Amino acid sequence: MDLRNWEQAKSKTNHYKRRRPEETELYRLVFHNHDRLEQEWELRFQSTYGYLREEVNETLQSYLDCGLIVNGAARIECQNKDCAHSTLLAFSCKKRGLCPSCAGKRAVIFAEHLNSNILKPLSYRHMVFSIPKILRPYFKFNRKHLDLLFKASWDTIRNMFNEILPDGNPGAILALHTAGDSLNFNPHIHGLVTNGVLGENSIFYPLPDFKSSKFTEYFAHRLLTLMKRAELVPDSRIELIESWQHSGFSVWAGEPIDYSEQESILFISRYIDKGPVANSKISIDGDIITYETKDGKTHEFYPLEFLARITPHIPNKWESTTRYYGLYSHRKRGKEKRVNESLGIRIEELPLEAQRQVSKSWAALIKKVYEVDPLICPRCGEKMKIRELLKESREIEKVAEHFSIPTFARPPPLLDPTDLFPIQAA
């Protein structure tokens, strides 16, 4: 894996530049097609993706409001009296599974939270648990079944690591990903996993070596057992899969990474919680949506096809897509201070207010994502301060006009597709 520098700049600009979501291809696509998607869903997409969930509709609508001055903004002002520069910063939607901007900020929050409040100074591996294509449909129409992927993954870690020390405790933060490289439905689990176990004597016992075949064999057996117990898969299907030389199951692990390698730890933490959609991969030519994968290949879709393809990656409102196990379970973390003392390591926990700031310091998050600080004045370099929050459209338009800030520009329309048949199968 290319462990890019955590501080690598994404832009050479020195100051925050307000993003214009309405100028992106994704916004253009959603803006002109989200109503049509709902109207045509039952006829065209229900057999492939199941019923159109309310959370999907809410996420699409919220995305259209995200980052737009007209839908709410904070007025910020330079504290330098000789400058007094003032401008507006738009609110965000904070929805999961669609908005690339909110996904980026959320991943930074997650990585900073793990590093500041959760992870112990141990060795770690990035692990990925994958399943064969033949099993993916069983998870597509009922998201509750995705719990089985979490359970099978953790059971595999716990069982395999128990060979190091039967009473040892591994730790894992597991995150659900449902998107393949081309946004196809491909549910799999990413994890940041301790590279060993912590014994009752408070000594860390590292994993001697990682044997993918053993992990994969156990993971396959465990998941199939859980699916059979839940009456999801008939015996004949299980026997078929077990007869294959290459079952399609896979457990991958990266090289061990020490906690002191902070850039690598932060990068992987951010990666396992990344969003599925990237604006940079989307282009539109007429009525054809082209999505480019990381290997340079391209996939083409009609507009509604592309939107439908995204919908399985939008989680339900209260769905937990990141879970903590072993050393990092809620029960174990309640004893964290005692464990740290027994390790002879003094870890200063952030005060409650500081922990809240990790997740709520909006300016700091944008600085992390875009390598700039939105609360630094672009004119004089001094700090800027939020003066007021604006929610009323008339008030926003009045202030925006005063500062010569455009509030919204309707994106150009897409050509209507002339063919209802997909360019490629979903």
User: What value does the mean pLDDT of the chain take?
Assistant: 85
Burial class of residue 232, CB neighbours in 10 A (0-12, 13-18, 19+): middle
Check pLDDT > 90 for residue 25: yes
Mean pLDDT across 119-124: 95
Residue 89 pLDDT level (bands cut at 50, 70, 90): confident
- Cite the beta strand spans of 356-397 per DSSP E: 384-390
Helix (H), strand (E) at residue 398: helix 393-402
What sign results for the dihedral spanned by CA atoms 368, 372, 376, 382?
A: positive
Q: Which residues are CB-neighbours of 221 under 8 A, at least 6 positions away?
A: none
Q: How far apart are CA 367 and CA 375, in angstroms?
A: 9
Calculate mean pLDDT across residues 104-119.
90
C-alpha 134/C-alpha 147 separation (Å) is 18
CB-count exposure of residue 81 (10 Å: 0-12, 13-18, 19+): exposed
**What is the pLDDT at residue 350?**
41
Q: What length is written for the chain?
A: 426
pLDDT of residue 401: 84
Torsion-angle region of 35 (φ positive above 0: left; ψ -120 to 50: alpha; else: beta): alpha
Domains of the chain and CATH, by start: 21-96+363-402 (no CATH), 100-280+311-362 (3.40.1310)
Quote the CA–CA distance of 48 and 424 in Å, as a whole number. 13
372 has pLDDT over 70: no
For CA atoms 415, 419, 424, 426, give the dihedral sign.
positive
DSSP result, 272-333: HT--S--GGGEEEETTEEEEE-TTS-EEEE-HHHHHHHHGGGS--TT---EEEEETTSHHHH
User: What span, in angstroms and rounded, lies between the C-alpha atoms of 309 and 195?
Assistant: 36
Per-residue burial over 127-156, b = 16 or more CB atoms within 10 Å of its CB, e = otherwise:
bbbbbeeebbebbbeebebbbbbbbbbbbb
Alpha carbon separation from 288 to 24, 184, 274 (Å, rounded): 15, 17, 26
Taking 60 as the threshold, does the pLDDT of residue 269 lie above it? yes
| Dihedral angle sign, alpha carbons of residues 201, 206, 208, 211 | positive
Question: pLDDT value at position 16?
Answer: 60
419 pLDDT above the threshold of 70: no
Q: Distance (Å, rounded) from C-alpha 423 to C-alpha 289? A: 10
- What's the confidence (pLDDT) of residue 353? 44
- Give per-residue pLDDT as tens, 299-344: 999 999 999 999 999 999 999 999 999 999 977 766 655 545 555 5
Sign of CA dihedral 323, 325, 328, 334: positive
For residue 171, pLDDT beyond 60: yes
What tens digit of pLDDT does each residue of 181-237 get? 999 999 999 999 999 999 888 899 999 889 999 999 999 999 999 999 999 999 999
Q: Residue 393's pLDDT band (boundaries 50, 70, 90)?
A: confident
CA distances from 196 to 4, 137, 168, 170 (A): 25, 34, 9, 6
**What pLDDT, on a 0 to 100 scale, did the predictor assign at position 385?**
86
What Cα–Cα distance (Å) separates residue 224 from each residue in 32, 139, 247, 295? 42, 13, 12, 31
Q: How confident is the model over 60-80, as pLDDT tens digits?
A: 999 999 988 888 888 888 999
- CA-based nearest residue to 289, from 303, 307, 276: 303
> Can you tell me which residue has the tokens 């591996």?
125
Query: What is the model's pLDDT at position 362?
Result: 64
DSSP E strand boundaries for 112-162: 123-130
- Is residue 56 scored above 50 in pLDDT? yes
**pLDDT the model gives residue 388:** 85
Cα angle for residues 353, 355, 360 (degrees, 5° grid):
85
How confident is residue 259, by pLDDT bands cut at 50, 70 and 90? very high
Between 81-95, 134-148, 184-198, the lowest mean confidence (pLDDT) is in 81-95
CA-CA distance, 274 to 97, in Å (whole number)? 9
- Is the torsion defined by CA of 94, 96, 101, 107 positive or negative? positive
